[in-house]
Structures are given as C-alpha cells and as structure tokens.
C-alpha cells in the first residue's frame, strides 16, 4: 500500500465525520428555527403561521436535504476539491448571509424604500 493510500485511508473517515457534523449542525439550526417559529407569537399567532416565515424555512430544509444528497452521492470524494461540492455549498451559503440575512434585507426595503411600517 502506498503512503498516499495510507494517508487517504486515514483522512477519509475524518472527512466523513466532519461532513456529518456539518449536516447535523444545519439540521439542528433548522429545527431550532422551526421550534421558534412555532412557539413565538405575534398578534396572537405563531410567526410560523405566516408564509413569509414558512417559505424560507421550507426552502432551507429542501436546500439542506439537497446538500446532504450531493455529499451522499459523492461519498467522501465530495470533499475533494476536484468535485467542488463543498466549495459550491460554502460559496452559495456565504453569498446569502454575508451582506445580511434575506429577511433583514427585505425588512430594509419595505421600511426605507416602500415606506412601510417597521416590522420588527
């Protein structure tokens, strides 16, 4: 067995554990958002009863599942740069949060461009 193969065999389980951890963290965060949207009430209704809250959560769930499937399809090789699965996920995720959350951007547009009352 070559030293490269020994190295790959040693690192591969670490990659799998790391990817599983990342997906698990994503699911945990999403579950907390779902719980909060179900429990937090505004105007005598849970915030999760509104499409503006439901749709992004549903979208996040579907994207998390798709990310998981991309990793599953590639197996440990999904973390190799030549496949670009992790890099695509990180890049697309960063682009969604770096300037501010989508919800906060929509709040800003509604308040400052559309002159609607502040919603938070």
User: How do the domains of the chain map onto residue ranges?
Assistant: 3-113
* Confidence bin at 55 (pLDDT 50/70/90): confident
Other beta carbons within 10 angstroms of residue 70's beta carbon come to 16
Residue 29 has what pLDDT? Answer: 87
- Provide the token pair at 61: 């769930």
pLDDT value at position 120?
77
Query: Is residue 106 scored above 90 in pLDDT?
Result: no
Residue with tokens 């197996």: 75
**What pLDDT sits at residue 35?**
92
* pLDDT reading at 30 higher than 90: no
Question: Is residue 29 within 8 Å of residue 64, measured between CB atoms?
Answer: no
Q: Residue 19 in contact with residue 26, Cβ under 8 Å?
A: no
Q: pTM for this one?
A: 0.52
64, 31 contact by CB (below 8 A)? no
The pLDDT, as a whole number, for residue 27 is: 87
Q: 7: which 2 tokens?
A: 């190295």
CATH class of 3-113: mainly alpha
Q: Which helix (H) or strand (E) element contains residue 46?
A: strand 45-46
Q: Is the pLDDT of residue 25 over 90?
A: no
* Residue 27 neighbours by CB under 8 Å, 6+ apart: 64
Question: Of 4-13, 16-25, 94-103, where does mean pLDDT reach its minimum?
Answer: 4-13
Q: How far does CA 27 lie from the centroid of its chain?
A: 8
Q: Residue 2 above 70 pLDDT?
A: no
DSSP class of residue 84? Answer: -
Rounded Cα–Cα distance for residues 12 and 36 (Å): 36
């Amino acid at each position: 067995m070559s030293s490269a193969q020994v190295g790959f065999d040693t690192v591969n389980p670490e990659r799998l554990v790391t990817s599983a951890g990342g997906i698990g963290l994503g699911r945990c965060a999403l579950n907390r958002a779902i719980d909060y949207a179900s429990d937090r009430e505004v105007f005598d209704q849970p915030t999760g009863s509104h499409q503006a809250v439901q749709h992004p959560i549903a979208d996040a769930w579907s994207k998390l599942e798709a990310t998981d499937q991309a990793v599953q399809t590639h197996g440990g090789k999904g973390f190799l740069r030549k496949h670009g699965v992790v890099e695509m996920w990180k890049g697309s995720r960063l682009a969604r949060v770096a300037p501010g959350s989508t919800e906060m951007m929509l709040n800003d547009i509604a308040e400052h461009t559309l002159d609607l009352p502040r919603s938070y």
